[in-house]
Amino acid sequence: MSKNGGMKEKKSSSAAKSKETLVGIIMGSTSDWETMEHAANTLREIGVPFETRVVSAHRTPDLLFEYAASAEKRGIEVIIAGAGGAAHLPGMAASKTVLPVLGVPVESKALKGLDSLLSIAQMPGGIPVGTLAIGKAGAINAALLASAILGAKHRTIRESLRAFRIAQTKKVLSQPDPAAAARKTLNAVHTQLSRKKKK
């Protein structure tokens, strides 16, 4: 997905869900959308209403403070914050709200996201940030963890998350032998080639 496409999708999601938003997905820059869209897609699959916004801790600190401080009043119950490099966004957001903040380290060019991970994980005692894995896996798991947090209060989300987990398990069990699946695909290709030769 292109950056422009991602940002267009973010605006439509925000507009459509503004009256019932439960999760706020924020990120330090538009380039972080490549990672954070996986959180958005996972929340959408589970049926959790969310909004997305670029909020830079360094370039727009006043906007960040306003967003985090007003989130609870606007009905948001969990914030997912993705950031790379110095990655101050999740921690600064957490400092302005009592809502759960889940930090997603975005992979950086210089240190492959290790800098992001340490920046988010090393919060001082008193201001917690739930820190997930670097990159796509972290974004997906942040959405799943947010859904689990919301599920304690919202039964429909809890049951939707349960269904997601069951489907995930069934998918793994349906393909216990990856070598067999690969052979099946290869045999299908050989069969098609043989039919073409006969024609």
With contact defined as beta carbons under 8 Å apart, do 102 and 150 qualify? no
**pLDDT tens digits, one per residue of 34-79:** 999 999 999 999 999 999 999 999 999 999 999 999 999 999 999 9
DSSP annotation of 30 reads G
- One-letter amino acid at 59 equals R
Q: What does the alpha-carbon distance between residue 160 and residue 72 come to, in Å, rounded to a whole number? A: 24
Runs of H (alpha helix) within the chain: 3-17, 33-46, 61-71, 89-95, 114-121, 136-151, 155-173, 178-198
The reported pLDDT for the residue numbered 16 is 37
Q: What does the alpha-carbon distance between residue 39 and residue 198 come to, in Å, rounded to a whole number? A: 49
Model confidence pTM above 0.85 = no
User: What is the end-to-end Cα distance of the chain in Å, rounded?
Assistant: 40
Residues of the chain with pLDDT under 70: 1-19, 199
CA distances from 188 to 128, 174, 175, 182, 194 (A): 53, 19, 17, 10, 10
